[in-house]
Amino acid sequence: MKLYDLELSGNAYRVRLMLSLLGLKAELQTVNLMQGEQRQEWFLKLNPRGQVPVLDDDGTVIWDSLAILVYLARKYGGERWLPSEAKDLAEVMQWLALMENETLYGLGKARVILKFKLPGSLEEAQTLGRRGLNVLEARLAGHDWLALDRFTIADVGCFPYVALAQEGDISLDPYPAVRKWVDRVKQQPGFVSMPGI
């Protein structure tokens, strides 16, 4: 198994985290985004979107961190991580929708604007990120986990950019339930960190 990776990418980190939680080993190959390696022909053959992460599992190539989470959960993790029953599956997927929207385009975008000096409206990103944090806080005030009252890929997916919120100049101080959840995730067997967390 090989993961095309970038250490500071929250999207790539969520895949490294999932691999570790499942006890799986993968060879990491860094893709240098600053030098445009993601736009080279060899990489675009793996992912036509030119983004990390990409997972090559013995010839099965999957791109996009959400798709990779679903693949790993279904192939190696079974019902614990991603249930197949419609209602339970939908409960997990609705939190993955928050991952793909408020956490990525809010918290994650604020982070890349400040940390990597990429263009965008910091104020809009922070507003969207805080909106997502409010939703998370409301859920986590009464539950330990986002879906099904157990640790699932919903938590793995949302965790990186929430835990990195301070790098987008968004404090978690107003969100005590979110802070406790971050700590719970860090206590899970197989947890691995990344710079900034």
Instruction: Evaluate if residue 36 carries a pLDDT over 90.
Output: no
Domains of the chain: 2-78 (3.40.30.10), 83-186 (1.20.1050.10)
pLDDT of residue 47: 97
Overall average pLDDT of the 29-44 stretch: 92
User: What length is written for the chain?
Assistant: 197
pLDDT (tens digit per residue) in 124-149 = 999 999 999 999 999 999 999 999 99
pLDDT of residue 104: 97
Cα distance between residue 107 and residue 130, in whole Å: 8
Overall average pLDDT of the 37-53 stretch: 95
Instruction: Evaluate if residue 119 carries a pLDDT over 90.
Output: yes
pLDDT (tens digit per residue) in 57-111 = 999 999 999 999 999 999 999 899 999 999 999 999 999 999 999 999 999 999 9
pLDDT (tens digit per residue) in 158-185 = 999 999 999 999 999 999 999 999 999 9
- Here the tokens at position 130 are 């805080």
Instruction: Evaluate if residue 34 carries a pLDDT over 90.
Output: no
Residues 6+ apart with CB under 8 A from 30: 5, 6, 7
Cα distance between residue 131 and residue 146, in whole Å: 16
Cα distance between residue 60 and residue 183, in whole Å: 34
Quote the pTM value: 0.96
